[in-house]
């Protein structure tokens, strides 16, 4: 089990002090948080990609490349890379470069953005969100998997005998998660390619996300990548932890009530009852997180949001200290012990290189044969597709 944190990178006024960090202060704090996450034993740090206020991480590869030089163990990821408004050629090259610089300690999560205006900002039409997702990802996969690509599509100029550089490290492309909070076509795309599916279930009741993950697992098996319970699933969540629950609730309430994403809505108590948000003691965080497996099955990655809504850096680092010392070791031990032997752990570059080499030793794999005979996902002519995923969140 890989356990880590993600940041949406919001610049929010601290409701208890009135202090609003500068963009520089917020970016610097995010780098400190990521490095401290490694220090306390976290497995993953992930950042979103945003191009609108009040968020600052507009260039994830710059941030993660910096962190690659400042860390030695932690996996560096995105919690959104915009597949719709980034050119696939740039994604292929920038993330392959990050893969080399980090020694394979990276992956990325593809999504569609947190606000509709991002599309025209980058020369696209938001009404094409799903077709863009499918076409851009089909091209991205080819750019990583094939040395020379000749390609023509609907949304960008053709490519003639093009090779993206650098080539993926060890000939194995970065691992890709597809993030969604409501769109079944994204689950289908992840299943077709045998990629991971990430459900950031911090906003809605668990039953909604159980249906999405269930669809992904069913289609993962359909495409021949393994049994449904072997599909690669990640979950989001949010915690605020103190030694005792009363202190946690008292301290976090003003931040929750004024949060730019879900403040001024349901009460803290309603939100903790209906969503994964846990505000309490280390044992309460452990107990609630362990229930996720009951709903979603065995999964490979758990990411917590710990630094938004104006929380000061000192408080966030204290959160990480408690998570690293009292929560993460227990969760990792309990979840790994419960996972059946045939269900894989979290994806790493070394494991994927080993699996590739093992498959080459015995000849073409069943996965490739099964997927190769299936029709590729197509969002162009499918009735009922709509850009219904543009909501304020960092994971799609």
**CA-to-CA distance for 253 and 34, rounded, in angstroms?**
25
For tokens 């009951």, name the residue: 294
Tokens of 352: 């994927």
For tokens 């605020």, name the residue: 240
Instruction: Kindly report whether the global pTM for this prediction surpasses the value 0.85.
Output: yes
> DSSP code of 168?
P
Residue 372 burial (CB count, 10 A): 10
End-to-end CA distance of the chain: 22
Q: State yes or no: pLDDT of 49 exceeds 90.
A: no
Ranges of H-type helices in the chain: 23-39, 60-70, 88-101, 118-121, 129-145, 184-193, 206-222, 245-257, 268-274, 282-296, 313-322, 328-338, 349-362, 366-372
3-state secondary structure at position 160 = strand
pLDDT digits (tens, 9 = 90+) for 58-89: 899 999 999 999 999 999 999 988 888 889 99
pLDDT digits (tens, 9 = 90+) for 337-357: 999 999 999 999 999 999 999
* CATH number among 3.20.20.30, 3.40.1280.10, 3.40.50.2300, 3.30.70.360, domain 2-372: 3.20.20.30
Domain locations in the chain as residue ranges: 2-372
pLDDT digits (tens, 9 = 90+) for 282-326: 999 999 999 999 999 999 999 999 999 999 999 999 999 999 999
Q: For residues 101, 105, 111 and 113, what is the CA-based torsion angle, rounded to 10 degrees?
A: -60
Residue 29 burial (CB count, 10 A): 20
Tokens of 229: 């319970």
Question: In a 10 Å sphere around its CB, with 0-12 CB exposed, 13-18 middle and 19+ buried, how is residue 362 labelled?
Answer: exposed
Q: State yes or no: pLDDT of 367 exceeds 50.
A: no
For residue 29, say if its preceding peptide bond is cis, omega within 30 degrees of 0: no
Max Cα distance, the chain (Å)? 63
C-alpha pair distances (Å), 113 with each of 100, 282, 379:
26, 33, 18
Tokens of 228: 């449904």
247 phi-psi bin (left φ>0, alpha ψ -120 to 50, beta other):
alpha
> How does residue 106 score in pLDDT terms, banded at 50, 70 and 90?
very high
Question: In a 10 Å sphere around its CB, with 0-12 CB exposed, 13-18 middle and 19+ buried, how is residue 246 labelled?
Answer: exposed
Q: 111, 81 in Cβ contact below 8 A?
A: yes
pLDDT digits (tens, 9 = 90+) for 242-280: 999 999 999 999 999 988 777 778 899 998 988 889 999
């Amino acid at each position: 089990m890989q356990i880590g944190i993600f940041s949406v990178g919001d610049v929010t006024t601290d409701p208890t002090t009135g202090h609003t960090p500068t963009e520089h202060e917020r970016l610097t704090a995010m780098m400190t948080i990521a490095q401290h996450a490694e220090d306390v034993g976290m497995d993953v740090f992930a950042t979103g990609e945003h191009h609108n206020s009040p968020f600052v991480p507009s260039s994830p590869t710059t941030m993660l490349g910096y962190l690659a030089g400042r860390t030695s163990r932690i996996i560096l990821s995105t919690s959104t890379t915009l597949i719709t408004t980034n050119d696939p050629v740039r994604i292929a090259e920038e993330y392959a470069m990050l893969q080399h610089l980090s020694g394979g300690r990276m992956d990325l999560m593809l999504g569609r953005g947190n606000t509709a205006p991002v599309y025209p900002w980058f020369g696209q039409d938001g009404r094409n969100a799903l077709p863009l997702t499918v076409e851009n990802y089909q091209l991205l996969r080819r750019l990583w998997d094939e040395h020379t690509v000749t390609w023509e599509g609907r949304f960008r100029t053709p490519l003639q005998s093009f090779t993206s550089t650098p080539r993926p490290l060890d000939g194995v492309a970065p691992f890709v998660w597809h993030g969604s909070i409501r769109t079944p076509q994204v689950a289908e795309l992840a299943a077709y390619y045998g990629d991971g599916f990430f459900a950031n279930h911090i906003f809605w009741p668990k039953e909604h996300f159980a249906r999405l993950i269930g669809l992904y697992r069913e289609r993962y098996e359909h495409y021949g990548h393994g049994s449904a319970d072997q599909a690669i699933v990640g979950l989001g969540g949010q915690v605020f932890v103190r030694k005792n629950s009363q202190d946690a609730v008292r301290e976090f309430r003003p931040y929750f009530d004024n949060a730019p994403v879900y403040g001024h809505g349901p009460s803290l108590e309603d939100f903790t009852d209906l969503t994964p948000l846990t505000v309490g003691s280390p044992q309460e965080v452990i107990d609630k997180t362990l229930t996720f497996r009951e709903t979603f099955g065995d999964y490979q990655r758990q990411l917590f949001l710990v630094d938004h809504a104006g929380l000061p850096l000192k408080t966030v680092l204290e959160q990480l200290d408690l998570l690293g010392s009292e929560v993460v070791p227990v969760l990792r031990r309990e979840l790994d012990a419960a996972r059946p032997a045939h269900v894989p752990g979290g994806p790493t570059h070394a494991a994927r290189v080993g699996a590739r080499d093992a498959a080459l030793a015995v000849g073409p794999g069943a996965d490739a044969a099964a997927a190769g005979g299936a029709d590729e996902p197509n969002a162009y002519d499918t009735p009922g597709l709509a850009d219904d995923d543009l909501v304020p969140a960092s994971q799609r």
